[in-house]
Amino acid sequence: MRIQYSMVKIGVLGFQGDVQEHITSLRSVLQPSGGTVTVIRKAEDLDGISGLVIPGGESTTIFKLISMYGIYDKIVRMGKSGLPIMGTCAGLIILSSKTNDERVSGMGLLNVEILRNAYGRQIDSFIDSIDIEGIGKFPAVFIRAPVISKAGDVEVMAYYRDNPVMVRNGNVLGLTFHPELTGDMRVHEYFIHMAERGVVPVEERKVVR
């Protein structure tokens, strides 16, 4: 039986990266129930959304553009107020508390420290099966993926070779891999369910040092 998501409206940050792939995945889950997906390019586009996806891509470019267009600070405020947010790859870097990249200031919505491109270059990309808590075996696509080198007060939902690859802190979800490139909708369904239910935000977050 399909869950009804008619009131759910998910925004996808639309400047750079796997924007269309996330939109396609989200629509495949939402549209049969009347839910909607919208592209976020201005601060006012964030108003009225049930959840936000920050896609993979180039973290420096995404950070520069969301700062330039006044979106960065609004996402931080909305995240702290309980808006469900999912960041994949570069999106995770932006959500993190420590990016180890002077060009990108992390939002501090996920208490993790990041090592960028830790698996190598584009040609070193790979797919492998991981076990996600509450979801099961999943084909994870790693493309110039970051590594979570330290994890603070977050729930680790999946590991790959002893490194956390999917973490959650209340209303914020972060992945080092690309679920939008698999054809498997279960991660997007999980996030949509978060958006449909809503999550009480964590009032105080300890930052990884």
Q: Which of 21, 22, 89, 113 is catalytic?
A: 89
Domain presence at residue 28:
yes
The confidence band for 205, taking pLDDT boundaries of 50, 70 and 90, is: very low
Domain harbouring 126, CATH code: 3.40.50.880
pLDDT at position 35 over 70: yes
pLDDT at position 15 over 60: yes
Tokens of 71: 């979106």
**Integer angstrom CA distances of residue 62 from 16, 131, 167, 181:** 6, 29, 21, 19
Domain presence at residue 3:
no
The confidence band for 156, taking pLDDT boundaries of 50, 70 and 90, is: very high
Q: Give the per-residue pLDDT at 121.
A: 56
pLDDT at position 147 over 70: yes
Domain presence at residue 2:
no
113 is catalytic: no
89 is catalytic: yes
Q: What is the mean pLDDT of the chain?
A: 90
Domain presence at residue 208:
no
Tokens of 86: 């999912």
Q: What is the distance between the alpha carbons of residues 50 and 196, in angstroms, rounded to a whole number?
A: 7
pLDDT at position 199 over 70: no
Domain presence at residue 209:
no
The β-bridge relationship of strands 36-40 and 51-54 is unpaired
Domain presence at residue 205:
no
Domain presence at residue 180:
yes
Q: Which of 21, 22, 113, 180 is catalytic?
A: 180
Question: What proportion of the chain, given as a percentage, has pLDDT over 90?
Answer: 80
Q: Give the per-residue pLDDT at 1.
A: 38
Domain presence at residue 203:
no
Q: Which of 22, 113, 178, 196 is catalytic?
A: 178
**Range of lowest pLDDT (4-8, 171-175, 186-190, 196-200):** 196-200
Task: Write out pLDDT tens, residues 133-145.
Answer: 999 999 999 988 8
Domain that holds residue 130: 9-197
| Count of structural domains within the chain | 1
Task: Write out pLDDT tens, residues 81-131.
Answer: 999 999 999 999 999 999 999 999 999 999 999 987 666 555 557 899 999
**Range of lowest pLDDT (64-68, 105-109, 203-207):** 203-207
Q: What is the distance between the alpha carbons of residues 200 and 189, in angstroms, rounded to a whole number?
A: 19
178 is catalytic: yes
